[in-house]
Amino acid sequence: MNINWYPGHMKKTKDLLKSQLKLVDIVIELLDARIPLSSKNPSIDEIIGNKPKLIVLNKIDLAHDGETRRWENYYKSQGFNAIPVNTMTGAGVREIMNEAQNITQEKMDNLKKKGIINRPIRLMIVGIPNVGKSSIINRLAGKKSAKTGDRPGVTKGKQWIRLRGNMELLDTPGILWPKFEDEEVALNLAFTGAIKDEIMDTETLAYRLVQRLYNKYETNFVERYNIDRNIEDPLEVMNAIAINRGCILSKKEIDYDRVSNLILDEFRAGKLGKITLESPINEGE
């Protein structure tokens, strides 16, 4: 798998993030509930240091409910609150705001004692591409969102967005990019669309997805594509799906490009059901 990595770019990103951390009270680390480990930037804990942090598990509408609960318990055992969120319905958004207030309560009380009244709680959201940061921001801001302008010390172009509940968010789009330390991480990010399909051909990607999912989520495939439950080989599963969905070329050959895109698109859209690719038990919970 050919994945480029640019150390110079990462250093610049780290330096930018560290400089902006001084301006915020709390960092919200946004993870994909289907791949909480793979969607975590491996440098984020080092970068934010002792800054208060709140973990948000986004896209729970696409993730397996039982696995999401296990991830909540896992993070709780690690000393973090992890809030599951569905930006489609807004579920969990109020909990983000409540928890941010709880975590920063002592600091805000100290500011009041110094005569600083009604100073907004300042947040920063970090997360990899396609993890739903914009949707979270829109939910937090509500319909009356408004940029509050540059503040001293803020890199030019970075804006504060006014949120509900006397909060402000430092908007830093695209500030983080995942480091691919192993193939499994890269595959998980590719499966969920966090990185472009061009890192590997879609046929191979779809095959690897079927290979990964079919044993655990066989019923999902059977019900979605009306295929024989007794099929075991991933390629034969793809062939059966192609036949049932009409992904056929001339001379009755399988159109692997079309069926591969079909499988990937339907998995990413949740049409295969609620599926989680990583379990905390694999990390020695």
Q: How many CA atoms lie within 13 A of 33 on its CB side?
A: 28
pLDDT digits (tens, 9 = 90+) for 239-281: 999 999 999 998 899 999 999 999 999 999 999 999 999 999 6
Residue 131, marked binder: yes
CATH number for the domain that contains residue 52: 3.40.50.300
Confidence of residue 9 (pLDDT cuts 50, 70, 90): low
Alpha helix (H) residue ranges in 49-179: 65-77, 93-113, 133-141
Residue 61, marked binder: yes
Given its phi and psi angles, is residue 157 left (phi above 0), alpha (psi -120 to 50 degrees) or beta?
A: left
Assigned token pair, 89:
């319905």
Nearest to 259 by CA among 230, 229, 227: 227
CATH number for the domain that contains residue 247: 1.10.1580.10
Residue 257, marked binder: no
Say what the pLDDT of residue 133 is: 87
How many distinct helices (H) and strands (E) make up the chain? 10, 7
In a domain, 182, yes or no: no
Residue 279, marked binder: no
146 and 106, same domain (yes or no): yes
Phi, psi of 152 (to 5 degrees): -55, 135
Helix 202-213 vs helix 183-191: crossing angle, to nearest 10: 100
27 and 111, same domain (yes or no): yes
Say what the pLDDT of residue 153 is: 36
Residue 145, marked binder: no
Confidence of residue 144 (pLDDT cuts 50, 70, 90): very low
Structural domains in the chain (count):
2
Say what the pLDDT of residue 154 is: 37
In a domain, 109, yes or no: yes
65 and 111, same domain (yes or no): yes
Kindly report whether the global pTM for this prediction surpasses the value 0.85: yes
Residue 27, marked binder: no
**Residue with token string 């397996």:** 64
In a domain, 2, yes or no: no
| Cβ(238)–Cβ(244) below 8 Å | no
125 and 254, same domain (yes or no): no
74 and 205, same domain (yes or no): no
Assigned token pair, 107:
């600091």
Strands 167-171 and 26-32, sheet pairing: unpaired
First CA to last CA distance, the chain: 29
Say what the pLDDT of residue 157 is: 46
What is the percent of the chain with per-residue pLDDT over 70, rounded to a whole number?
84
**Residue with token string 């409540």:** 98
In a domain, 255, yes or no: yes
Q: What domain range includes position 62?
A: 8-171
At a CB cut-off of 8 Å and minimum separation 6, what does 257 contact? Answer: 202, 203
113 and 209, same domain (yes or no): no
31 and 114, same domain (yes or no): yes
Measured CA to CA, the distance from residue 72 to residue 80 in angstroms comes to: 9
**Residue with token string 């798998």:** 1
In a domain, 193, yes or no: no
SS3 32: strand
Average pLDDT estimate for 196-219: 89
Alpha helix (H) residue ranges in 117-233: 133-141, 183-191, 202-213, 218-225
Residue 132, marked binder: yes
51 and 101, same domain (yes or no): yes
Measured CA to CA, the distance from residue 35 to residue 76 in angstroms comes to: 17
